[in-house]
Chains A and B, each alone.
Chain A
Amino acid sequence: MDAARPPILEVRGLRKSFGHSEVLRGIDLAVAPQEMVFIIGPSGSGKSTLLRCCNRLEEPTSGAVHLGGVDLMAPSTDINAMRRKIGMVFQSFNLYPHMTALGNVTLALRKVAARSRTDAETLGMAALDRVGLAAKAKSYPGELSGGQQQRVAIARALALEPTVMLFDEPTSALDPELVGSVLAVMRELKAAGMTMLVVSHEMRFARDAADRVIFMDHGVIVEEGAPDQIFAKPREARTRAFIAGLTRS
C-alpha cells in the first residue's frame, strides 16, 4: 500500500469466537481511501464475519477496528454515529417492506442525521438517481425486482454519505441477469472514489475492478495482492486450490 495514503479503515489483531469455535483468528487489514478491496475465500472462512465486525454488527472478541483514526471499540465512541459513516449492503437486501424506496433511503437521514423531511427527500432522490431508480421512489420493495431492491439498498447506504462501504455478497441472492445492474452501480461508485470492502464470489468483477484481493481461509488471511497476481499466480497452495476450484466449476 502507498505510504502517502494512511488507511481509512484499519483492523488489527481481530479475533472472533462463536462459543468454542474461533472464526477469526487474528486479522490485520488496512484499507486506503478510495481503494476497492475484495475478500474471497471458501464458505466458513470468516469473510462475512470480518466484514460485520467492521461496523460491530458482530462484536469482536478481541482486537481493534479504527475508522478515520477513531477507535470503534472504545467505550467512549458513539457507535451509532460511526455507523453512519460505514455504509453496509447485505446479501438479502433487507429493505424495510413497509416503506417505499424513498422511505427506505430517507429514514436514517431523518431519524439519525436529523435532517428535515424536505432535505432528506432531496438527498434521498439524489441517491436513488445515482443508482438509476429515481422513477421507483414511490414503489414498495415488494414491487421491485431483486436487482432493483439491491440498488435501493445501496442508495440507502449511500444517502448517508459514508466514508467507506461494506458489501456482503451483494449479488449472491440475485438472478444472473440482474447481477450486472448491481455491479454497474458498484463500478460507478468506484469511479467516484468510494472506499469499498467487498465480500463476493463475482471473480470476474473482482479481477477487473478490485485494487486488491484478499484470500481468507479458516479465519486467517492466507494471501493478498493485486487481482492479476492472486488469480493468475497465487503464491500459496490453498489459494491455488481455491482459484482452481472456481475455474473448474
Chain B
Amino acid sequence: MNDWSRFVEAFFKSNLIEQYLPSILQGVVTTIEIALAVVVTGLAFGLALAVVRSFEIRPLNVLIIILVDILRALPPLVIVLIVYFGLPNVGVSIPSFAVLWLVLSLVLAAFAEEIFWAGILSVPKGQWEAARSTGLSFLGTLGYIVLPQAVRLTVPPITNRTVAITKNTALGTVIGVPEILNQATTAQSFSGNATPLMMGALAYIILFIPVVALGRYLETRFAWRRN
C-alpha cells in the first residue's frame, strides 16, 4: 500500500462515507437547528441588554456589565459542563439540547450587548439632539434614529462573533447533543477510522462558508454614503 492509498484509507474510506452519511446529515440538521435558535435568541437578548443599558440606570448597568464580563471571560465549555452536570444536583435538569442553546445564547448575547452598546455610543450626540428637538421621545429616537445607525455599524463585528459562537455548537458533543461532531466521533469510535471526522469537518465548511460570505456581503450592503 503506497502513501496515497494509506491517506485515502485513513480519511476518505468510501464504504464508511456511504455508511455514515445519513447520521452526519442528521448531525447537520441538528447543528443548523441549534445555530439558528442561538443566533435569534442571542442577538435579540444582546440587543435588549444594550437598549436597557442606554437608559443609564446605574445599578442595572453595573449588573449588566458584571454578567456580560463573566460570560465573556468563561470558556463556553466550562459553562456548558456546569449547567449540564451541576444543575441536576440542585434538582434542575435541563435536556442537553436546551443546555447548549441556553448557554450559547447567553454567551452570544454578552458579546452582542458589548458590540451593540459600542454602536449606540458611536452614533453622534447631534443625532439624538436633532430627533429630540422635533419632539421624538427617547424610545422613538432610539428606535428610528439611533439603532438603525448603530446596527449598521455593527454588522461586521456582529457577524464575526455570531459565526464564532455558532461554531461552538460542536461543544454539544461533550453532553451528547447529536450535532455534527457528536455524530462524527460516535461513528469514528465504531469504525475505528477518521473518515467520519473528515466528513464532519467538510460538513462544517459547507455550512459556514456561506455564512462567512453572507457576512462579507452584508458589510458592503449595509454601508451608506457618509460625508
Contact = CB atoms under 8 A, between A and B. Distances in A.
A and B from one complex = yes
Interface of B: 124, 126-127, 129-137, 140, 144-145, 148-149, 152, 224-227
A142 B195 CA distance: 54
A16 to B, nearest CB: 16
A41 B190 CA distance: 85
Nearest to B225: A142
Nearest to B137: A80
B133 A111 contact: no
Interface string A124-150: 000000000000000011110000010
Contacts of A55: 133
Given A98-B152, A141-B227, A142-B227, A80 B130 contact: no
B224 A156 contact: no
A113 B137 CA distance: 12
B134 A90 contact: no
Interface in A94-119: 94-98, 107-108, 111-113
Closest CB pairs A-B (n = 3) = A142-B225, A108-B134, A94-B130
A57 interface: yes
A154 to B, nearest CB: 12
A143 B148 CA distance: 19
A142 B226 contact: yes
Nearest to A112: B135
A98 B149 CA distance: 7
Which applies to chain A's interface (DSSP): helix, strand, loop or mixed? mixed
A221 interface: no
Q: Interface residues of B: mostly helix, strand, loop or mixed?
A: helix
Contacts of A160: 134-135
A83 interface: yes
A96 B147 CA distance: 12
Contacts of A153: 130
Contacts of A47: none
Interface residues of A, number: 31
B224 A142 contact: yes
Given A80-B137, A108-B136, A90 B130 contact: yes
A15 B185 CA distance: 72
17 contacts: A57-B129, A57-B132, A80-B137, A83-B133, A83-B134, A84-B134, A88-B130, A88-B133, A92-B126, A94-B126, A97-B224, A107-B136, A111-B136, A111-B144, A141-B227, A143-B225, A160-B134
A157 interface: yes
Nearest to B152: A98
Contacts of A84: 134-135
Contact of A108 (B127, B129, B135, B224): B135
Contacts of B227: 141-142, 149
For B124, B135, B145, the residue with the greatest tally of chain A CB atoms inside 10 Å of its CB is B135
Contacts of B130: 88, 90, 94-96, 153, 156
A112 B152 contact: no
A140 B149 CA distance: 14
B136 A112 contact: yes
Given A94-B127, A140-B224, A143-B225, A80 B135 contact: yes
A143 B226 CA distance: 8
A112 B134 CA distance: 8
A81 interface: yes
Contacts of A141: 227
Contacts of A113: 135
B143 to A, nearest CB: 9
A197 interface: no
A94 B134 contact: no
Contacts of B224: 97-98, 140, 142
Contacts of A92: 126
